[in-house]
Amino acid sequence: MTRDQMRQALHLLPMPVALIGARDGDKHNITTVAWINQASWTPLQVMVSIAPQRYIHDMIVKSSEFMVTIMGEGEEATVYFCGTRSGRDLDKIKELDLATDPGEVIAVPRLKGALANLECKLVQSLVSGDHTIFIGEVVAADYCKDSRPLVLCQGELTTL
């Protein structure tokens, strides 16, 4: 099997789509990720894989915290925008006119109207290949059940 065939096979895995938020001083940034999963029940932890060249990577390293915002159907344009533009170049929150609330425990704001916001304190990071896996303990959260979560499967955004 060729590398391209292996990559195509991996695209069959449905992946949850989330926005990852971080803060460095007054600068709040969000980016789209699909390499994210629960890592533990006790303590409750999630893991996210982010390439070191991504702007948000160093924000997480510096602040030791991040927000996982689970997006739902109807939010495809926001997810696409945040995944195709860099926070180095523009303020995505302002550009999209996204409403936020302060985090309950961490300094990263929550996005209003999202399916869920998970406030995470960084507990471990691990370099794996060309990405860093950040593991965060969920220290606070909010959620609503009004929509279905977005997933990425075979290169398409869809819902379960």
Quick one: average pLDDT of 52-75?
Answer: 95
Give whole-number Cα distances, 150 to 10, 57, 58, 65, 122, in Å.
Answer: 18, 23, 26, 23, 24
CB 120 within 8 A of CB 138: yes
Higher pLDDT, 43 or 155: 43
CATH number of 16-152: 2.30.110.10
C-alpha span between 50 and 73 (Å, rounded): 23
pLDDT band (50, 70, 90) for residue 14 = confident
